[in-house]
């Protein structure tokens, strides 16, 4: 299996409910940020994908919530591709606080034509980058610190 990309993220008040616990849908945003940064680190930039006539969309998300994250926690979000097909890729993602697993997800990202939203092949540069990542077991962990948005 390939080396995961790591994104560190702080929990801010706008990520939580009134009790200071991260709202369940916010984990999907954290996972999106980590996937976007992982692709960026590979050189797969969203504007270039769009310029090729494609859009990457979430086709399915299977998320398991194990323990809560809370206000001001520092989270580590790992991302790694586990399947690459002609028109989609599947990512395994996990959210940790320290060594404690809080959430895990399997997210399928499909490629669609930006005008018709019909399934189309992933752009070749994106496929090549993902394919290379999947075969590299000694690839260094990326560490990008997320900013509050």
CATH number at residue 125: 3.10.129.10
pTM value is: 0.88
Q: Is residue 129 part of a domain?
A: yes
Number of domains observed in the structure of the chain: 1
Q: Is 119 exposed, middle or buried (0-12, 13-18, 19+ CB in 10 A)?
A: middle
Q: Is residue 59 part of a domain?
A: yes
Active-site annotation holder among 17, 73, 128, 143: 17
The SS3 call for residue 139 is coil
Average pLDDT of the chain is 88
Q: Is 4 exposed, middle or buried (0-12, 13-18, 19+ CB in 10 A)?
A: buried
Cβ–Cβ under 8 Å, residues 49 and 126? yes
Quick one: pLDDT at residue 142? Answer: 41
What's the domain range around 104? 5-140
Q: Is residue 127 part of a domain?
A: yes
17 is catalytic: yes
Quick one: pLDDT at residue 137? Answer: 61
| Confidence tier at 148 by pLDDT (50, 70, 90) | very low
User: Taking 50 as the threshold, does the pLDDT of residue 33 lie above it?
Assistant: yes
């Amino acid at each position: 299996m390939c080396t995961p990309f790591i994104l560190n993220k702080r929990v801010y008040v706008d990520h939580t409910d009134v009790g200071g616990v991260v709202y369940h849908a916010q984990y999907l945003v954290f996972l999106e940020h980590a996937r976007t940064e992982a692709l960026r680190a590979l050189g797969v930039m969203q504007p270039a994908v769009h310029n090729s006539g494609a859009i990457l969309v979430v086709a399915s998300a299977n998320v398991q919530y194990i323990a809560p994250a809370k206000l001001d926690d520092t989270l580590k979000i790992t991302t790694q591709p586990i399947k690459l097909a002609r028109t989609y890729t599947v990512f395994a993602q996990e959210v940790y606080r320290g060594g404690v697993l809080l959430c895990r997800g399997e997210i399928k990202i499909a490629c669609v034509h930006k005008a018709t939203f019909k399934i189309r092949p992933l752009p070749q540069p994106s496929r090549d980058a993902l394919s290379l990542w999947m075969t590299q077991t000694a690839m260094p962990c990326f560490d990008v610190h997320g900013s509050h948005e």
